[in-house]
């Protein structure tokens, strides 16, 4: 979840603000509202504590913070070089965040525009968060921020354990098994009132001396106790929850290195109490584990809690050996008194298992209708998942028998790992040239081409091509040749693909003001910018309305005398005597100035685009209101509609006269889109909304890429709305576009991959149809983290494996691994038939 999208203005406050226009509500990352950021009053002295406070409305597991300075379209240059965090679960007790080595300061920005993302090790579990800029000299600071995280559905607000102990034995390093990130108090050898390593999402290794974090001491990941020093033969741990909960199970991640005297617990007894000030209920839940003397690996032990309700829990874990070590404890609970329990007891936990960030579960809220809806949706989703799995299974068994192991393995890890219980928070690798002050908080130059992300396994392409025959759909077309398309070759072309300053947008007139485009004023748009002619308005004869958007309409018109008007350079095919039909996109006279600007900008951009696979602007009417642009009319509508009404060609479709498309049709379409996009990329144009709904087909099935912003009405479920303000095609967007608002040719390549996927599913399904919008956004976080938990679109059944390989390449985390449009075109070109 990207919290910024969820946080309302009223939940953002600050200790002070310099002006009205630099108030806390302007502190959102990648926005340029107000004066472009939050700035606290007055220059900040090193001793000052000024903060931006966010109320997340519920306990939240916050894992990443992004910050940015005040850029304000290059008029601002204030930023925070350093900052720290305070957090609170109840709004009263505030705790200063420290990293695993006890350091409070986080490195921030060193310019006003780049957003810097930091992993929080350990993550913060809190409802309130304060971001406190820190400075070494007296200076003005301004900040924009973003938080990433997910709802803390465990609901645990504190646990209390005996202090962790030290294990020293001759011949081994000393293991310090204290709870070093605990944020409560230590009193009489007992920790209480806080959370720490048992809830930080990091599980320990099989060998407790090994750690996930470098630079920490042996035994870091575990909290451990020995029977000898504790006395009663058990460890007593108490848990306090945010509200009354109905517990299904507790999972305890425990070490089992019996060769060093460590074992999981032999049994556990848990008592419950309904309120914090109440007696423990007499009847405990008891659970005996099966001890394992053969397998020394650390493991999760699941303790069923039998649907007991409570707000507090006290568990006694009995020793099975001299030592007991835990690294993580989590709880699953249904909601109290909710109808979910009646309808489908297992539903809530299934959501957590299948679809959301594994150990932190789906969001909870107290509205019972939404719970009911949630339950129904869950049941439907489960059915869909089951059907999907069955189909997938069949597909794997039949079709992919010879497919490379890698794809299968990847599919499986996705599924398996999404049911794993661990969030292993690792920092992404760092480019060597970045100097670091703190080894745990790394600058991630996300879009720096030199940044090398985790190695992507090199695939065995020849093997892939051979398996094409096995797909059963072979014949009549040649395999796309992706071998010539190595990532290196692709990005060494001389065109500066990602020159940010050159990025222009092709956005339509629906007012998607989220898209930051270089400011162009109306004044700067003169006639000479528009290289098409002004057509006499009275010669456009209205036929019918094709579409409608927030700021305008698209009409089908007959253009009288257009061919003569265009003369020599007509892009229209030879005239067959019928009236010339055109699409006329018209801006409402009462449209806002912004929409007007965008409209003129779109005219200016479109008039420069001349490619057989890009919709052509024929002429305009801009000398008087309403402003109009006249483009080719595409009789066959958009590709999405076209394909969704068709089936794959087969003897069945032939026999029954069902409209169908063949494999080579699909490949031909893909090639045409890549060709159009190649042209856009060569001009450094970023489309930002490539999808089948924006590809139009004419009578001869030539594809032309367009973006009639109007299509958004028809396909509104494809767009994600943020508090009614902006619409984003998140299911087509690269992770960096979603998380950082970066749109480049490389993010268009990503969208091209999704578009290919749509084509080969014949647009029968929305991308990631099993995920909610929020989960899609969460998934993009997994793409950023790249720990193998990201969910990829799966190969559409008729899609040749090598083509799916090409799609997967488009969805590479690092833009340098994504193919360029030129090489996508080279790979698909053999299929352009005329
Ligand atoms: C835990 O032990 C380590 C290593 O001895 C020590 O540096 C650290 O301060 C201890 N932390 C707490 C919270 O006791
Ligand atoms: C733990 O200590 C208790 C009391 O000192 C003793 O009775 C018990 O046998 C010990 N358990 C193990 C597994 O060593």
Residue 550 confidence class, pLDDT cut points 50, 70, 90: low
* Residue 182 counted as domain residue: yes
Determine which helix (DSSP H) or strand (DSSP E) holds 465, and give its type and residue range: helix 461-466
Number of CB atoms found within 10 A of residue 6's CB: 19
The string of pLDDT tens digits covering residues 350-363 is 222 222 222 333 33
Residue whose CA lies nearest to ligand 2 atom number 3: 233
Residue 292 and residue 279 share a domain:
yes
Q: Which of 336-350, 719-733, 768-782 has the lowest mean pLDDT?
A: 336-350
Higher pLDDT, 3 or 61: 61
Q: Indicate the DSSP class of residue 391.
A: H
Please say if the pLDDT value at position 813 is more than 50: yes
* Residue 611 counted as domain residue: yes
Closest-lying ligand 1 atom to the alpha carbon of residue 163: 14
Residues with CB under 6 A from ligand 2: 227, 233, 319-322
Give 738: exposed, middle or buried? Use CB within 10 Å, 0-12, 13-18, 19+.
buried
* Range 206-232 average pLDDT: 87
* Residue 121 counted as domain residue: yes
State residue 334's pLDDT score: 76
Query: If you measure from the C-alpha of residue 86 to the centroid of ligand 1, how many angstroms do you get, rounded to a whole number?
Result: 21
CATH number at 680 reads: 1.10.510.10
Count of structural domains within the chain:
3
Higher pLDDT, 364 or 531: 531
Residue 351 CA, distance from chain mean position: 18
Q: Which of 144, 142, 135, 145 is nearest to 48 (CA)?
A: 135
Residue 699 and residue 609 share a domain:
yes
The C-alpha atoms of residue 114 and residue 445 are separated, in whole angstroms, by 9
* Range 469-487 average pLDDT: 40
Residue 212 and residue 322 share a domain:
yes
Q: Which of 376, 413, 384 is nearest to 771 (CA)?
A: 384
Cβ pair 790, 777 in contact under 8 A: no
Residue 74 and residue 168 share a domain:
no
* Residue 194 counted as domain residue: yes
* Range 784-807 average pLDDT: 86
Residue 706 and residue 613 share a domain:
yes
* Residue 665 counted as domain residue: yes
Counting ligands in written order, which one lies closest to the CA of residue 263?
A: 2
The string of pLDDT tens digits covering residues 90-132 is 999 999 999 988 899 999 999 888 888 888 889 999 999 999 9
State residue 80's pLDDT score: 94
Determine which helix (DSSP H) or strand (DSSP E) holds 57, and give its type and residue range: strand 52-68
* Residue 646 counted as domain residue: yes
Residue 260 and residue 122 share a domain:
no
For a pLDDT cut of 70, what percent of the chain falls above it? Answer: 74
Cβ pair 546, 555 in contact under 8 A: yes
State residue 153's pLDDT score: 85
The C-alpha atoms of residue 794 and residue 811 are separated, in whole angstroms, by 12
State pTM to two decimals: 0.50
The C-alpha atoms of residue 700 and residue 380 are separated, in whole angstroms, by 41
Residue whose CA lies nearest to ligand 2 atom number 10: 233
For a pLDDT cut of 90, what percent of the chain falls above it? Answer: 30
Counting ligands in written order, which one lies closest to the CA of residue 265?
A: 2
State residue 600's pLDDT score: 82
Query: If you measure from the C-alpha of residue 689 to the centroid of ligand 2, how many angstroms do you get, rounded to a whole number?
Result: 66
Query: If you measure from the C-alpha of residue 87 to the centroid of ligand 1, how many angstroms do you get, rounded to a whole number?
Result: 22
Please say if the pLDDT value at position 741 is more than 80: no
The pick from 177, 180, 191, 217 for probing ligand 1's pocket by mutation, whose C-beta has the most ligand atoms within 8 angstroms, reads: 180
The C-alpha atoms of residue 104 and residue 98 are separated, in whole angstroms, by 4
Number of CB atoms found within 10 A of residue 402's CB: 14
Q: Which of 458, 483, 514, 456 is nearest to 790 (CA)?
A: 456
* Residue 15 counted as domain residue: yes
Q: Where are the beta strands (DSSP E) in 69-143?
A: 82-88, 95-96, 106-107, 116-134
Residue 230 and residue 354 share a domain:
no
CATH number at 167 reads: 2.60.120.1190
Closest-lying ligand 1 atom to the alpha carbon of residue 180: 13
- Angstrom CA distances, 351 to 209, 417, 614, 793, stand at 35, 14, 43, 19
The C-alpha atoms of residue 451 and residue 433 are separated, in whole angstroms, by 10
Cβ pair 224, 262 in contact under 8 A: yes
Classify 501 as helix, strand or coil: helix
Residue 217 and residue 141 share a domain:
no
Higher pLDDT, 756 or 607: 756
Residue whose CA lies nearest to ligand 1 atom number 8: 180
Residue 393 confidence class, pLDDT cut points 50, 70, 90: low
The string of pLDDT tens digits covering residues 267-305 is 999 999 998 888 899 899 999 998 888 889 999 999 999
Give me the domain span that covers residue 283: 156-333
Cβ pair 65, 444 in contact under 8 A: no
Residue whose CA lies nearest to ligand 1 atom number 4: 176
Residue 170 and residue 135 share a domain:
no
Counting ligands in written order, which one lies closest to the CA of residue 234?
A: 2
Determine which helix (DSSP H) or strand (DSSP E) holds 385, and give its type and residue range: helix 368-398
In this structure, the strands spanning 166-167 and 175-176 are: antiparallel
CATH number at 82 reads: 2.60.120.260
Q: Which of 36-45, 497-506, 565-574, 699-708 has the highest mean pLDDT?
A: 36-45
Please say if the pLDDT value at position 702 is more than 80: yes
Closest-lying ligand 2 atom to the alpha carbon of residue 232: 4
The string of pLDDT tens digits covering residues 490-542 is 332 222 222 222 223 333 323 232 333 333 333 444 555 667 788 888 888 88
Query: If you measure from the C-alpha of residue 262 to the centroid of ligand 2, how many angstroms do you get, rounded to a whole number?
Result: 13
* Residue 250 counted as domain residue: yes
Residue 222 and residue 142 share a domain:
no
Residue 784 and residue 647 share a domain:
yes
Residue 88 and residue 17 share a domain:
yes
In this structure, the strands spanning 685-686 and 504-505 are: parallel
Q: Does residue 689 have an active-site annotation? A: yes
Higher pLDDT, 802 or 481: 802
Please say if the pLDDT value at position 207 is more than 80: yes
Please say if the pLDDT value at position 179 is more than 60: yes
Please say if the pLDDT value at position 711 is more than 50: no
Residue 626 confidence class, pLDDT cut points 50, 70, 90: confident
Counting ligands in written order, which one lies closest to the CA of residue 211?
A: 1
* Range 575-591 average pLDDT: 79
Residues with CB under 6 A from ligand 1: 176, 178, 180, 217
The pick from 234, 293, 319 for probing ligand 2's pocket by mutation, whose C-beta has the most ligand atoms within 8 angstroms, reads: 319
Name the active-site residue from 689, 707, 718, 814: 689
């Amino acid at each position: 979840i990207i919290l910024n999208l969820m946080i309302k203005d009223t939940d953002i406050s600050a200790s002070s603000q310099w002006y009205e226009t630099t108030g806390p509500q302007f502190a959102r990352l990648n926005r340029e509202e107000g004066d472009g950021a939050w700035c606290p009053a007055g220059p900040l002295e090193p001793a000052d504590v000024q903060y931006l406070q966010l109320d997340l409305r519920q306990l939240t597991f916050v894992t990443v913070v992004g910050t940015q300075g005040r850029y304000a379209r290059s008029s601002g240059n204030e930023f925070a070089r350093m900052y720290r965090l305070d957090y609170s679960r109840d709004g009263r007790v505030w705790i200063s965040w420290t990293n695993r080595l006890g350091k409070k300061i986080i490195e921030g920005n060193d310019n006003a525009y780049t957003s810097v993302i930091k992993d929080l090790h350990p993550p913060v579990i809190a409802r309130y968060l304060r971001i406190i800029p820190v400075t070494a000299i007296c200076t003005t600071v301004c900040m924009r921020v973003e938080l990433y995280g997910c709802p803390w559905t465990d609901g645990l607000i504190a646990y209390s354990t005996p202090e962790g102990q030290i294990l020293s034995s001759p011949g081994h390093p000393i293991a310090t098994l204290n709870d070093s990130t605990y944020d409560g108090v230590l009193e009489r050898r007992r920790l209480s009132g806080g959370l720490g390593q048992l809830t930080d999402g990091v599980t320990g290794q099989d060998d407790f001396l090994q750690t996930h974090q470098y630079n920490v001491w042996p035994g870091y990941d575990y909290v451990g106790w020995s029977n000898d020093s504790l006395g009663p033969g058990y460890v007593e741990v108490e848990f306090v929850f945010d509200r009354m909960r109905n517990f299904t199970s507790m999972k305890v991640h425990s070490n089992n290195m019996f060769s060093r005297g460590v074992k999981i617990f032999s049994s556990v007894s848990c008592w419950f109490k309904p309120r914090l000030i109440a007696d423990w209920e007499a009847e405990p839940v008891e659970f005996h584990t099966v001890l394992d003397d053969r397998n020394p690996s650390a493991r999760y032990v699941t303790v069923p809690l039998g649907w007991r309700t409570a707000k507090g829990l006290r568990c006694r874990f009995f020793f099975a050996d001299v030592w007991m070590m835990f690294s993580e404890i989590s709880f699953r609970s249904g909601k109290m008194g909710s109808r979910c329990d009646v309808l489908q007891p297992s539903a809530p936990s299934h959501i957590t298992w299948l679809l959301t960030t594994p150990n932190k579960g789906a969001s909870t809220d107290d509205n019972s209708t939404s719970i009911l809806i949630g339950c129904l949706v869950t049941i439907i989703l489960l059915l869909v998942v089951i059907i999907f799995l069955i189909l997938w299974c069949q597909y794997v068994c039949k079709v992919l028998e010879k497919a490379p192991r890698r794809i299968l393995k990847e599919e499986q890890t996705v599924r398996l790992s999404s049911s794993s219980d661990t969030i292993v928070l690792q920092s992404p690798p760092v480019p060597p040239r970045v100097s670091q002050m703190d080894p745990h908080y790394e600058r991630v130059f996300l879009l720096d081409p030199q940044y090398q992300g985790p190695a992507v396994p090199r695939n065995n392409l020849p093997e892939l091509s051979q398996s094409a025959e096995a797909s059963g759909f072979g014949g009549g077309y040649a395999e796309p040749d992706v071998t010539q398309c190595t990532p290196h070759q692709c990005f060494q072309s001389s065109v500066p693909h990602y020159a940010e300053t050159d990025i222009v947008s092709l956005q339509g007139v629906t007012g998607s003001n989220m898209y930051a485009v270089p400011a162009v004023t109306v004044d700067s748009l003169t006639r000479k910018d528009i290289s098409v002619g002004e057509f006499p308005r009275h010669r456009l004869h209205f036929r019918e309305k094709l579409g409608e958007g927030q700021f305008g309409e698209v009409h089908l018109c007959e253009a009288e005398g257009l061919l003569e008007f265009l003369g020599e350079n007509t892009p229209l095919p030879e005239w067959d005597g019928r009236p010339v039909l055109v699409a006329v996109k018209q801006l409402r006279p009462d449209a806002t100035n912004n929409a007007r600007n965008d409209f003129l900008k779109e005219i200016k951009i479109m008039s420069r685009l001349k490619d057989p696979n890009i919709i052509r602007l024929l002429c305009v009417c801009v000398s008087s209101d309403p402003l109009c642009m006249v483009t080719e009319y595409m009789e066959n509508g958009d590709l999405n509609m076209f394909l969704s009404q068709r089936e794959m060609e087969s003897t069945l479709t032939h026999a029954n006269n069902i409209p169908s498309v063949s494999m080579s049709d699909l490949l031909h379409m893909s090639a045409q889109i890549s060709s159009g996009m190649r042209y856009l990329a060569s001009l450094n144009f970023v489309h930002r909304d490539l999808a089948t709904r924006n590809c139009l087909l004419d009578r001869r099935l030539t594809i032309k890429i367009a973006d009639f912003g109007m299509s958004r009405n028809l396909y509104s479920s494809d767009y994600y709305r943020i508090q009614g303000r902006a619409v984003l095609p998140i299911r087509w967007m690269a992770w960096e576009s979603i998380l950082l608002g970066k749109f480049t040719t490389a993010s268009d390549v990503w969208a091209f991959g999704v578009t290919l996927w749509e084509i080969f599913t014949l647009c029968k399904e929305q991308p990631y149809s099993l995920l909610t919008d929020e989960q899609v956004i969460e998934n993009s976080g997994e793409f950023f983290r790249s720990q193998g938990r990201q969910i990829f679109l799966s190969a559409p059944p008729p899609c040749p494996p090598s083509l799916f390989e090409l799609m997967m390449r488009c969805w590479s985390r690092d833009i340098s691994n994504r193919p360029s449009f030129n090489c996508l075109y080279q790979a698909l070109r053999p299929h352009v038939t005329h």
